[in-house]
Chains A and B, each alone.
Chain A
Amino acid sequence: MSELVAYICKKVKKIELSDDSIIKINSKKIQFNLLSLDAKTYLVGLGNKFYEATAQKLDDEKYSISINGKLFEVEIRTTLQEKARKLLEASGSTNHKLEVKAPMPGMILKVKKRVGEEVVSGEPVIILEAMKMENELRSPVAGKLKELFVTEGSPVEKGIKLFSIES
């Protein structure tokens, strides 16, 4: 049996995986049927309902999974990995630092804040031009702009660190 912890849609799920057809999610026993159709596509059966799924491995602990066309990002760790991560987090700095990454490749059109400046939650920090549109990238929390990793006019790839906010 494997014990895992998954994060999906900001929710934590405790998982006990017994075999190829029985799983406990937050202590609820679920019988399932999982078939691989090709390298990236799967069929998941839960009771009398079938779901079409595709999966992409983002890194060792993260998968991008689409179920019936709805996209989920699932973080998944063994209980051991999860304990190690929590320890590491607790030993880090007391101030909480949040990094914002580029949601898509594009070009940095404008940087609206300077390092050290206060921002409120939802305030635009960077304007990223992509797909012929100006997209405001906002601070997810209130705090201070701690670091800025990009400059105006520079192209960025998806997932590149843009800025960090200390809250």
Chain B
Amino acid sequence: MFKKILIANRGEIAVRIIRACRELGITSAAIYSEADITALHTKLADKSYFIGKAKSSESYLNKLKIIQLAKKINADAIHPGYGFFSENDDFIKSVENEKLVFIGPPSSAVSLMGSKTAARKLMNQNNVPIVPGTTEPIKSIDEGISTAKDIGFPVLLKASAGGGGKGMRKISSEKEFVSSFEATQREALKAFANDSIYIEKYIENPRHIEVQIIADKHGNYAHLFERECSIQRRHQKIIEESPSSFVDMATRERITRAAINAAKACGYYNAGTIEFLMDANKNFYFLEMNTRIQVEHPVTEMITGIDLVKEQISIAAGNKLSFNQEDIKINGHAIECRIYAEDSNNNFLPSSGKIIEYKEPAGPGIRLDSGFSRNSIISVYYDPLIAKLIAWSGDRKSSINRMIRALSEYYISGVINNIPLLNLVLENKNFIDGNYDINFIENHILNKKNGNIVSENPDIEGLENAAVILASILKTKSAPKESLHSNINNNRWLDQLYE
């Protein structure tokens, strides 16, 4: 097993990896940028190393510095987390060349799957169904328009190197094509350093179903069932669950088999996810493979009891899978909410700033993977994900209720967050009945006229009054009276100590 792992990431996933390392008795080495000196991962790791300026390109995306650091501190392996270098085959090759171990798949599988067009071609050859569209990047705007006309509008423009919902746009008509094409190219270039684009037919009202797979370097493959991630905004997931209420036994059998085939087709090892779109008739189409640990991996961990990050590390060290496929059963139901610093009433505009007060939920069946604490800064330089709240219970309805309870205990102040939006989803009858698709937020939660969320907190009057009272006191008096409890002399135990 490894002695020391360098974690080339930040936020909650860096914290998650530090925790796995600690349980395995491995020294964790974190990196931090100028903006992250007060971040949780910086404080929690066994060792933390300054890596550069706040801008990602000078810190978490500085390949040379990261690899040099890993060598200098004698790390055995690098865990990339998700995002940043996790799906960058060039980075993986460099790690491999330096005789370090990359905790993830081989660079060959990442290159194959990293190009969405090559992946589509490969899946097509291996009997994994794909969405109709091109299997080559579009060379010009004219070619794009003619292809789009052939498949029929609406179409989706997607970055060949993309993923995670970034670099993707829906086009409903020819006249939107040019500006959308250019914007997608710009976004793709910035996010993935590659501006090639391909076209897919836009599947109407699908559900997003994905399968967690895991494989070792000895040719053993297993799946850990499906996750449903249909609740999305801006094409990015905000609520994920496992198992899916839509997938029946027969469909589960078919989709997990397709996922294993997909993993075998690219010679995969380590943890990976095959994403599918599923239409109302339970037909599914390969969307992409994510060759990394996913943000939403905890729901799978909760229902299977497998620690995916520890398994990733063990596989990278050359061990066999710690379980057989037959040993794994679905136990209960788990749901995850992504807590984002963003304004649901303002086109999901990210919010940045300092977390002034912060209280985490707890209690039965609750797990919180968070990268922040009180006084942490939500920086403008990175993703606005604050934390992931996961609820587990025996069945779907009770895990939804448990999640609503936990959200009511979660207190974050100083930055705007999406907890009110999450509550609206969890309390919506269509969601509770399992009657939804990837357009649920637009169709059921947002007001069509102004894009704001449909209903308000039932106690809005109380909240507003409390705010007005506090403002009035602050405006007219220098400070409100202090709480007695803040005064240590009033501690009656202290008196007894000196008696």
Contacts and interface: CB of A to CB of B under 8 A. Distances in A.
B398 to A, nearest CB: 24
Most central of B380, B476, B483 by chain A CB within 10 Å: B380
A20 B481 contact: yes
A9 B466 contact: no
A35 B469 CA distance: 12
Nearest to A135: B349
B349 A34 contact: no
Report the interface size class on chain B.
35 or more
Main secondary structure on B side of the interface with A: mixed
A37 B414 contact: no
B382 A132 contact: yes
Contacts of B414: 54, 56, 66
B187 A134 contact: yes
Contact of A6 (B190, B343, B472): B472
A105 B34 CA distance: 16
A23 B413 contact: no
B38 to A, nearest CB: 16
B24 interface: no
Contacts of B467: 8, 53, 65, 67, 72, 74
Contact of A130 (B186, B350, B468, B470): B350
A133 interface: yes
B417 interface: yes
A23 B472 contact: yes
A42 B474 CA distance: 11
Interface string B186-198: 1100110000000
B463 A67 contact: yes
B150 interface: no
Given A17-B472, A42-B480, A66-B414, 12 more contacts: A36-B480, A36-B482, A37-B486, A42-B470, A46-B465, A51-B466, A52-B411, A69-B412, A69-B419, A103-B346, A109-B186, A135-B350
Interface of B: 166, 183, 186-187, 190-191, 234, 343, 346-347, 349-352, 356-357, 359, 380-384, 410-417, 419-420, 457, 459, 462-476, 479-483, 486
5 contacts: A15-B468, A17-B473, A36-B482, A49-B462, A158-B352
Interface of A: 2, 4, 6, 8-9, 11, 13, 15, 17, 20, 23, 25, 30, 32, 34-38, 40-44, 46, 49, 51-57, 63, 65-72, 74, 76, 78, 103-106, 109, 129-136, 138, 158
